[in-house]
Amino acid sequence: MLRRLGRGALDVLLPPQCLACEAGVDEPGSLCADCFSQFTFITRPYCHVCGLPFETAVIDDEVVCGACMKDRPAFERARSVFAYRDTARTLVLKFKHADRTDAAVHLAKWLARAGAELCHDADCIVPVPLHWRRLWMRTYNQSALLAHALGGLTNKPVVPLALVRTRATPTQGGLDRAQRRRNVAGAFAVKDTSEIAGRSVLLIDDVMTTTATADSCARALLRAGARAVDVLVLARVPAPGT
């Protein structure tokens, strides 16, 4: 009862707002009807490896897309919550660049639902790191915020400093798949293997475009002795033309 009274008082002082457009909503951490209608939440069918949605139905849930068949990433599975476009892009950019750090705990609930199987199988959670110069400019790592919030929801240990960026990489914007791979190749390392060796790692990031960053991070974690690496992200950039 005290919790409900406290929640009611807080809602009067700070009314819940839509995560995307900040319109009034009934529950904290939710979307208004207009924004919800503009989101494309990712569900099956999708590639069993990278999680890229398929445009048509498939018979086998473990079918693999052409890109992964040609050049399979180092991670086992990747899953994402929604497609990175329109209103969803606005939400992510606010969280990433506009100090909407309060959204992390709500977005982590979405991650927990979309990646329930991955969370269950994980021994620990690791965020994709920022280079120290970018972290100094931004003041926070959005992936680390998501990782900590998800760890609290799933009771999985979070290892925030397991991965480090060994060099600053140019922005990935405008690069194709091969260029992105080269851009982040060898850009990540594990300094202390004791918290990674022999464990199944769940890697957390905000947006996945071509799997290049996730693949590079997974390779570093596997070199450090990780038993397996899965990837869970908020948003997935749709394939061109879809």
Residue pair 147/125 in contact (Cβ under 8 Å)? The answer is yes
- Mean pLDDT, the chain, whole residue set: 90
Position 222 in a domain = yes
CB-based contact 183:172 (threshold 8 Å): yes
DSSP label at residue 203: E
Same domain, 10 and 113: no
Number of domains in the chain: 2
Range of the domain at 201: 40-236
Domain identity same for 113 and 179: yes
Let me know whether 8 and 91 are in one domain: no
Domain shared by 107 and 14, yes or no: no
Give the pTM.
0.91
Lowest mean pLDDT among 3-12, 215-224, 225-234: 3-12
The predicted structure's pLDDT at residue 10? 47
Both 197 and 232 in one domain: the answer is yes
Beta strand segments in 41-133, E: 77-83, 124-127
For 171-228, the pLDDT digits (tens) are 666 666 677 777 788 899 998 999 999 999 999 999 999 899 999 999 999 999 999 9
What is the pLDDT at residue 96?
92
Same domain, 34 and 110: no
Distance CA 118, CA 77 (A): 8
120-137: per-residue pLDDT in tens?
999 999 999 999 888 998
Q: Write out the two tokens for 130.
A: 């920022």
The CA-to-CA distance between both ends of the chain, in Å, stands at 48
pLDDT > 70 fraction of the chain, expressed in percent and rounded: 90
Strand partners, 207: 235
The whole-angstrom separation of Cα 6 and Cα 35 is 28
Could you tell me if residue 242 is inside a domain?
Answer: no
Do 150 and 61 share a domain, yes or no?
yes
Which CATH number fits the domain that encloses residue 129?
Answer: 3.40.50.2020
Q: Are residues 132 and 219 in the same domain?
A: yes
